[in-house]
């Protein structure tokens, strides 16, 4: 009898201890001990060098958003995101060093800000099966589809969307409008060139020039003089803000602009372009962007994004690049969450090929309409299309402010790998 009473008392004590412990177990993610356990992600940005005007706000937003996720949202199911942020200097050799460091340190996947950064490392990543997410992308980054994914529509999609908008809303002439392309001599320019080669004839546009320039250019007067002699109706620039601002200034100096329409890709259509070129010079320029461009839009993520930027990096406020990288970090978190839910932490803790395969299968390819806080079009994986976001907006500089003039425009998939010239 005495033993029976003791057994009952012990049972009551055990139940009581369990009841007391339940809140603490729940706070730790269902009883898992998450203390000190992290989910490593490699983040590459060009924070010094010739693209620093874009790289700095991109880096700031990545790190600010991940800090928000870790501190205010408790990480991913209690696990902290450990961001290994490395500067590419916008140089190929440094980008290669960075990706090898990401893999050596057990990162689950990696991101780049720029298509050029990804173009320098994608062969290494694809060969290893190391998945990557590129913010600003070019068709060559993921055609044919392998292990690299685009956060948003690419520079080829930019050209197609702008060209169609131009035909439908601006062109008033007869026959085919004459378009000159001013292209950065890397994947940023190549994306627009590839799209024009694939689509211009079918759309009814005559490409009269494809002029290339370097990111370090200080004048494009020679190429603009050639273009001017061809009497273009429209000039499309696929480049970064600094060269784009130079081209637009010189186009205005020789009387080309605003007599011809100028459109720019999303790499250039940021506050940096207006700051570098001057609001009066850039006024009226069209451009595309795959996220919202106004910090006052009614999107769920805007309030928290503005709070962090104003407190930590006030110089980035109203910068479209900050928006793009904040959205990228939200997608990073969603990829980690979906994979963690599917396979658990032990698989991801390895940071090896098995982890990478799980991230790709359950994270990247498991994305199905995630809304990214309304900052860009929802991300959704479709087999054969490694662009996760598929819509963008047409914008125009009005009274010195980049302003959306359309809603979301879906960019159709172009299978560049079906063209004999692609990649040559």
Query: Which range, of 3-7, 191-195, 221-225, 276-280, averages the lowest pLDDT?
Result: 3-7
What domains sit in the chain, N to C, each tagged with a CATH number? 38-152+296-389 (3.40.50.2300), 156-289+411-418 (3.40.50.2300)
Dihedral of CA 290/296/298/303: which sign? positive
Per-residue confidence band for 31, with pLDDT thresholds at 50, 70 and 90: low
Does residue 343 register a pLDDT over 80? yes
Task: Tell me the average pLDDT across 110-133.
Answer: 98
Q: pTM for the whole thing?
A: 0.90
CA distance 385 to 150: 9
CA distance 266 to 292: 12
pLDDT score for 424: 83
Per-residue confidence band for 6, with pLDDT thresholds at 50, 70 and 90: very low
Say how far residue 304 (Cα) sits from the centre of its chain. Answer: 19
> DSSP string of 337-364?
HHHHHHH-HHHHHT-SHHHHHHIIIIII
Structural contact between residues 112 and 118, judged by C-beta atoms closer than 8 angstroms: yes
Higher pLDDT, 171 or 7: 171
pLDDT score for 14: 38
Nearest CA-CA partner of 57 in 282, 249, 308, 334:
308
Nearest 10 degrees: CA dihedral of 344, 346, 348, 349? 150
Task: Tell me the average pLDDT across 235-244.
Answer: 98
Which burial class, exposed, middle or buried, applies to 67 when counting CB atoms under 10 A from its CB (0-12, 13-18, 19+)? middle
């Amino acid at each position: 009898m005495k033993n029976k009473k003791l057994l009952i008392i012990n049972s009551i004590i055990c139940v009581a201890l369990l009841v007391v412990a339940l809140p603490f177990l729940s706070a730790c993610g269902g009883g898992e001990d998450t203390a000190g356990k992290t989910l490593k992600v490699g983040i590459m940005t060009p924070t010094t060098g010739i693209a620093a005007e874009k790289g700095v706000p991109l880096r700031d937003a990545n790190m600010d958003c991940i800090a928000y996720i870790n501190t205010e949202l408790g990480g991913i199911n209690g696990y902290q995101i450990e961001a290994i942020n490395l500067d590419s200097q916008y140089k190929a050799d440094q980008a290669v060093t960075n990706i090898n460091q990401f893999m050596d340190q057990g990162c689950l996947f990696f991101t780049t800000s720029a298509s050029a950064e990804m173009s320098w490392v994608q062969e290494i990543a694809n060969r290893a099966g190391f998945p990557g997410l590129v913010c600003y992308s070019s068709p060559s980054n993921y055609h044919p589809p392998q292990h690299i994914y685009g956060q948003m529509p690419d520079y080829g999609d930019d050209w197609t969307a702008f060209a169609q908008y131009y035909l439908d809303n601006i062109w008033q002439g007869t026959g085919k409008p004459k378009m000159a392309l001013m292209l950065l001599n890397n994947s940023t320019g190549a994306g627009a060139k590839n799209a024009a080669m694939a689509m211009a004839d079918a759309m009814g546009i005559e490409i009269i020039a494809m002029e290339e320039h370097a990111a370090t250019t200080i004048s494009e007067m020679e190429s603009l003089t050639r273009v001017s002699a061809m009497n273009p109706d429209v000039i499309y620039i696929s480049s970064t803000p600094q060269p784009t601002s130079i081209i637009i200034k010189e186009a205005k100096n020789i009387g080309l602009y605003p007599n011809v329409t100028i459109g720019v890709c999303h790499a250039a259509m940021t506050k940096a372009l207006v700051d570098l070129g001057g609001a009066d010079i850039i006024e009226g320029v069209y451009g595309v962007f795959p996220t919202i461009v106004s910090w006052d839009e009614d999107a769920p993520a805007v309030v928290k994004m503005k709070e962090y930027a104003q407190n930590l990096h006030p110089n980035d406020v109203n910068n479209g690049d900050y928006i793009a990288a904040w959205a990228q970090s939200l997608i990073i978190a969603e990829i980690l969450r979906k994979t963690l839910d599917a396979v658990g932490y032990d698989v991801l803790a390895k940071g090896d090929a098995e982890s990478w395969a799980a991230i790709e299968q359950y994270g990247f390819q498991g994305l199905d309409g995630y809304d990214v806080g309304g900052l860009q079009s929802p991300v959704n994986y479709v087999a054969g299309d490694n662009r996760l976001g598929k819509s963008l907006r047409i914008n125009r500089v009005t009274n010195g402010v980049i302003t959306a003039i359309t809603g979301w425009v879906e960019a159709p998939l172009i299978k560049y790998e079906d063209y004999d010239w692609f990649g040559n």
